[in-house]
Amino acid sequence: MEYLNFAVEMARAAGDVLKHYANREKFVELKGRANLVTAADKESEALIIEAIRKRYPDHAILAEESGALSGSKTAEGQWIIDPLDGTTNFAHQYPFYCVSIGFEQRGQLRCGAVYDPFRDEMFSGGSGAGAFLNGEKIRVSAAARLSDALLMTGFPYNFRDHIDDILSKFRAFLFESQAVRRGGSAALDMCYVAMGRSDGFWEMNLQPWDTAAGQVILEEAGGRLSNFKGDPFSIYVKEIAASNGKIHDEMIRVLSQHR
């Protein structure tokens, strides 16, 4: 609980940084052709790292903009941070972005917080403790068939290298589900599945900081995660299929057939 409360506290404080920058002119730098970074990403990350360094100086940190920062040799904890998930949305004032903070202990994800400052929605989860939205328990949806499902997906920055694969899966899900949305923040996409606004999500080439907090929240909300073949999910593998559990096998069938 201590780590979870701390993650929530930091996500909220970092969310305030995003709010501060939200309606101002953004000075956007490019990390790749369409891969952006702004002052808000950097300031949000700096605030989180400083808070961790102060409270848990021996813990390791894996953060999107700073990379891996090692802790002490005996450190058993690692914080996994996306200071702003959905930077492209943020830069365009499209209100779908968040802060995502996960905590891993001895290789096991323990807790996570995902905060959407625009809607003031704090998603949180701790292993064995449940998943919550603003303190209220959340659960995945009851949709039992893919044909009843609202799905979400995302396209990686290097989509050009995988365009046929991506479009073939997208096309297949479009035909088989009720609808597909492309939100632009993988961490929020996962939380939306966790609380039933969506029934399933898939994407390729995500990074640990996109999915660490979302994994705990979704599992604690009764959801299921795997790679595209249905094998166990890890934040360190590059494929994610996430669902309410009930439509998971159908999703895996589509993902396996359209490679």
The residues binding ligand IPD (CB under 6 A) are: 82, 85-87, 154-156, 184-186, 203, 206, 210
Q: Cα–chain-centroid distance for residue 182?
A: 14
Cβ closest to ligand IPD, residue 56 vs residue 150: 150
* Pick from 188, 149, 236: nearest CA to 11: 188
Find out whether 115 and 66 touch, Cβ atoms under 8 Å: no
Q: Cβ 136 to Ca ion, closest distance in Å?
A: 26
Question: Residues in the site for Ca ion, rule: CB under 5 A?
Answer: 64, 82, 84-85, 210
Q: Cβ 240 to Ca ion, closest distance in Å?
A: 12
∠92-93-99 over CA atoms, to 5°? 105
* Pick from 198, 195, 82, 189: nearest CA to 135: 195
Cβ closest to ligand IPD, residue 105 vs residue 205: 205
Cβ closest to ligand IPD, residue 37 vs residue 71: 37
Q: In this structure, are strands 121-126 and 136-137 parallel, antiparallel, or unpaired?
A: unpaired
**Taking CB positions, which residue lies at the least distance from ligand IPD?**
154
* Pick from 220, 215, 197, 189: nearest CA to 141: 197
Token pair in block for residue 91: 């830069």
Residue 40: other Cβ atoms inside 10 A = 24
Cβ closest to Ca ion, residue 52 vs residue 235: 235
* Pick from 178, 229, 227, 182: nearest CA to 205: 227
Q: Cβ 90 to ligand IPD, closest distance in Å?
A: 8
Which of Ca ion, ligand IPD, none lies near 170, with the C-beta cut-off 5 to 8 A by kind? none
Cβ closest to ligand IPD, residue 71 vs residue 83: 83
Which of ligand IPD, Ca ion, none lies near 199, with the C-beta cut-off 5 to 8 A by kind? none
Which of ligand IPD, Ca ion, none lies near 206, with the C-beta cut-off 5 to 8 A by kind? ligand IPD
Which of ligand IPD, Ca ion, none lies near 45, with the C-beta cut-off 5 to 8 A by kind? none
Q: Cβ 7 to Ca ion, closest distance in Å?
A: 16
Which of ligand IPD, Ca ion, none lies near 86, with the C-beta cut-off 5 to 8 A by kind? ligand IPD
Which of ligand IPD, Ca ion, none lies near 154, with the C-beta cut-off 5 to 8 A by kind? ligand IPD
Side chain identity at residue 254, one-letter code: V
Token pair in block for residue 75: 């450190």
Q: Cβ 91 to Ca ion, closest distance in Å?
A: 11
199: left (phi over 0), alpha (psi -120 to 50) or beta: alpha
Cβ closest to Ca ion, residue 124 vs residue 185: 185
Q: Whole-angstrom Cα distance, residue 70 to residue 25? A: 34
